[in-house]
Structure 1
Amino acid sequence: MHALAGLLLVVLLPAGAFALLRIGLLLILLAGLRLILLLVLLVLRLAGLILLVLVLLVLVLLVLVLLVLVLLVLVLLVLVLLILILLILILLILVLLVLILLILLLLLLFLQLLQ
């Protein structure tokens, strides 16, 4: 049936009108393909936006982790510096005690020599 209709179109329509009909059918087909292509591009654009948001979230999380690590390192450095200062103070106190003991020993020796 469709072949008969196609044959009637070829016989009854002049060549120019048949070409115009073919061009019209091609334009309709291209419009449908264009719509499908636009839908595919829209989906790809949305997927790209979602991927971009995910990448940005990962980058923000990495920056936050790096900031936490830097803060931990700074806290550890401050603790080490405080411990070093305390050790230096303890050493200074010990040196002062030794000096005082030496002075006392020298005084005792001097007093024994005077006797």
Structure 2
Amino acid sequence: MITPETLEEYYVRIGRLKQRYLQERFAEDLPAFTSREEAASWFRSLFGDNFIFVEEMDAANSEKYYLYDIIHDREFWERRQKDLREKGTANGLGMLLCTQRVDIYADGSVQMAF
């Protein structure tokens, strides 16, 4: 069961900088959610301000889904956001793995990037 106390067990270190990243076992152990709001609330209670809404998207079947990011490294994320605002692009060591994408659908189903 995923709790604040067990969260660290779900992380692996990847990339040249050995950044923390949630492994697939995290997605396998997620509770069953019945709505997007329930799922987003659960993630927000676990990650706090490091769980952010990105944008609403249209799925192929005319439904909507919602993109969120879990920020794993706030320093890299803030630098990436600054570069995007000022330069229109962000690249560099650590930028890609500083967040992890979470797609949440209206029915509460969750897909994560690994």
TM range (shorter): under 0.3
Q: TM-score, normalised by structure 1?
A: 0.19
Larger Rg: 1
What is the TM-score of this pair, normalised by structure 2? 0.19
Q: Which has the higher contact order (CA 8 A, sep 6+)?
A: 2
- Give the structure with the higher percent helix: 1
